Each structure stands twice: as C-alpha cells, then as structure tokens.
Structure 1
C-alpha cells in the first residue's frame, strides 16, 4: 500500500467555492460498499435509503472563530494566528494580574493554545513576539504571545499565550475572530453560518464536520417522522485530519490527537439498533472516528466516552466495529480521509466513484456534494 494509491486528479472546476443554494438539494452519489454500484440522486433522497429503526449519528461540534488577523506589536506587520487546540491543565479561564503600559495592575484572562502562525519567520519563541487583534472599533481585544515551538514548527505550529481584558476569552474571540474556511475555498464572502451544521452546538473545532452541512431541520424532522433515530457525538475537529499525507508509506503518517465524546444515550441507541437488525449510519468521517474510537475491541462493545483523546488512523484492512453506512463528502487527494473511505469499501470502488463524480460535474470538497456509502 502506497500513498499514491489514494491520489487522483482533482480539476479546479470541481472544487466547490460556495455552499449549495439549498442545503439538501445538492447532488448525492449513492454507492454500494460491497459491489461499487453507483446511483445519482439528490441529498434529500437519503430518506429513501434508510429504514425505521436505523440510527443516524452526527458530530454536533461547532466551528470556532479560530482565524485571527492582527498586527505584530512593535512593528505593525500583518500576522495571522490560527487556533488549533487549547492546552488543558494550563492557565485557561483564570484571571491573572498583569502590568499595563502605565504601570497599573489589571485582571486579564489567559489561556495556552496550540496555533498556526503566518509569517512563521517573524513569530518565533523567545523573540518577544506578540500579535494584537482589534475589534470593530479598533480596540485591542485579544493578544497572542508566542511562547514555544509547536509539534510541527516547520509548518508554522507554535504555542501561544492568549490574553484579554474582556470578561472571557470566548467574548474576545467572537469580537476579533473569523470562521476559518479551507485554503482551497478562495474568495467566499457569504454567510459564515453556512459553514456550520444546523444542529451544531459547542464551539470546539477548527474545521467543520462537512458531511452534516447537507441536513436541514425539515429533513431531520422528516427522518424522525419515518422512525429513523438521530443521535450525536462530538469530535473536536483539527486540521491534521485533512492534511495531505507526505510519506510514501501511509502507515508512517501520524494523525495528531483529537478529543471526542460519545454519550451513553448514543451508545444505547447504537446497541439497540444492532440488536434489532438495523444499521448505524455515521454522518461524516469524524462521527466514524468517534464511534470506532469508543468501540472496546476486547469487550466487543461500544462504551460511552467523555472528552477522551483519539489518534485513530483508519486504513484499508481496518475492521469496523460499529458503523454500517456512511454519509460523507468528497475528499482531498492523498488525505487520511481518502484512506478511511477506502477502508469502508475498497480503494477500487472509491476511485471509480470519484472518477464518475468528476465526469458528472459533482462539486467536491467541503462546500461540495455528498456521497452515501451503504
């Protein structure tokens, strides 16, 4: 197995630059995971492929305003800080006494975060590098001091201390932050809420669980009315999941840790579905990773988890313990997500499906059309 096995030619014209006008009116490519048989539908038709008693499991995480655009203190040079994940067990959510420019002591909120920075050459630990971020009135609402190197410093990863005089860091982030979009979405200036699922709750992710973008409240209600259950998990989506694998051997690639939660209610619903012969359908690869991470292979059962860490890396040859069908988007070439969906079916089936989608003018990637693998 080589990383090249999961590569394909992605034409620029196929990369969706904006969401569908109506969430559930996008295209949906239905694929039989065993035979590779394909069918072209629209997303709201998914109700025809589900039976009463089936269980849909969606990731209810919400995207943070994680993209911060500011100026380096002292030089005024433009700088960007992208929040990846908060370091737990640090000074988060604690007031600390700090000395202001006039010598007066004030109370500030602080937290330590793993971040990406640009330009990396100008934002190095030990250089006193601080970036200030202003609100709409031009007042500094948040500052980021670069205090250490990150795990992948060559890609701009750093450790930053965030500080604000606002009542909370959350308030400061919403005053200065922007919802991050993937770099292949070039000029979208529409409603940032369209990069959130309609059922999202807790802001904890650096990227959206995009398979869920196709659901509307009305479609969810129609599914429930048919007897199809809707349950949730939460996985705090990081950027590492979507990165292209650089190694020739995919098994040498390491996925960074993400945190996930699987409530007992979801565990009970999945167990009951399997007991009566129904299916568990994951909405998105993040739901797959949550459910499969929570599966105890020694005991042969799903167990509730509360913000536990996972670095589960699903490659072809993996045996799925929980998930029976998958709602997903079309993924970046050479990504771990291409490997995951290939593991759920076969590499040959997935590559044939992607070829069909490109030839049929499907819209691909985060704002693109859907795929249902059953």
Structure 2
C-alpha cells in the first residue's frame, strides 16, 4: 500500500485506481519490516549487538502484470557509549525511494536520526530509548505520461489535447519528522532471551501532500506500536516473533509473524551460519513466507507476498517480492560496545 498525493483521481488513468482507492493516504511499508527499523520507530536505531549496522531492502510489487510499485530503503546506524556509565547514543539515517504507477509518482526521503539509550539496570540489559528522525521529502511525477478525460473526445484519444490539470510544477519538497520511544531487556537463564516494546508518532509536523499547493492537504499522523521477543529452544535453535500495528487516519494495518532459527557449526556461540525460516501475515492483505541466512557480519533475506486481499482476483494472488541485505559489526576502537557488559540489543 502507498502514500498517495492529492489530485483529481477521477481524471487520471493508468494509476492503478483500484489499488489507490483501497490504500489512499497510507505510508510506504515493507513486508520485511524488521529489516527497516527506523521506518517503524526511530528509537529502534541502535538496538542490535554491534557498533554499526547498515541495512537495505528492495521491494517490487505487482510489476508482473502492471507498472506498479518499486521501493528501496537504506538505513545506517552508529552506536557509541556515553560517558563512563552504561548509556549509549545512536546516530543514523534513513534513505527511502519509491516509484509507483504509469505517471511515475516518485517519493524520496532523506531522514537523519538520533537515539538516546538510557540504562535502567546495573545487573542486566534494560534500556529505555528515545529517538528522533526528520528531514527532507521530495515528490514528483512525469506529467508527459498523464492521460485525462479531457483528452478523450468523439474521435478517441488525442494526446496533444490539454489535460486540464492545474498544478504548476510536477514536483515539490516538504519536511517530515517523527519521534519514538522503546523499551528493551533480556530475561531467562543466562539472560539469553530478549524482548522489546515500542511506540512511534510519525508525521508529527503534518507535512504538505499536494501537487496543487493546497495548504489544507497534508499527510496525516501515523502511530506505530511494535513488539518483539527472541527466546531459545536449545543452544542451537530459537524463535524470533515480531509484530507491528499502525494507525493512520481511518486506516490501520497489522502485521506479525515468527521465524525459527537454527545455528550451523560445532560452536553455537560462534555459529558458522544461522538459517531462519518462517512466515508473517499482513492482516486481510498478504501471507508472507520468509527465509533468511546469517553469515557474520552479513545477512540476506528473501520474502514474497501472497495476496489474500480484495485484489487477489485481479493480481492472481501475486503480491510483492522483497530482498534485504544487512551488515552488522563491531569496530576496532577503545570504546567499542563489544567491551561493554551491558548494551542495548535485540
């Protein structure tokens, strides 16, 4: 589902009108939402075992039967201790690119992020994190590919006829901001299990969202509630469960599921590979099988949406394919989090 601009939808063709009707005013999303943490909540930046993380996700949705959506995400985070205590700070950023429809509705985000992790315990990992993210958003369309009712007459379609649209330029810039808070901790024998809970408020400045320069048209705030838990089955295997619930205006979305993870090699503490397999469900929209492979410091994951929504007949059950790549590592420095007993992680 996509974030859609305010324009005369009755006069435009080739923009997947059925899909737009169902998804109007909703944000870009990923099925591998767990691989794009800053889009979920800026306070999830830095909650990993390592000093630095770089993640990329690419999504190709419905392009097997129409010119639909192509979306890419890239985020990077750098975590460092603060002072002599157990607090940490994470600096990072999110780049997002999305192109949709025949007229190439293109949205680009450049969003720096900052997150502070406050330690709540001297005995185990327990952190309360407050994160902020904000920056520039640019939107554009290719007006030369636009067709409208005005260009159809008794003689059929006339591409040279005025299209009747009144926006002055096919692009505009705006600003966007979000804030979030999360709690994460470890539990169980040897503190081997972990969990987190978080809540985020996106578009808190209500950025403009109109090619017609209509100041009354803005992007509605979005609330995202997230949770996750990792718990061990034995020394070689464990489960990862994650879920998000989002609310934006009159729309809501719930996605959740689980991965079963198995370590390969003779030493479970330093596994050569870890294989993850499982599925997620975007409620009333898609069933999403996922497979992922870890080989320190790299991870790669592949997922596919099986459409179960009202569009399943038109799409023949086909949804979106996603691939993600992640790199997480420690840095050789004096204040590396590898040397800290307590560190925010999930």
TM-score bin (small chain): under 0.3
Which one has the bigger strand percentage?
Answer: 2
Q: Which has the higher contact order (CA 8 A, sep 6+)?
A: 1
Tell me the TM-score normalized by structure 2: 0.26
Normalised TM-score (structure 1): 0.24
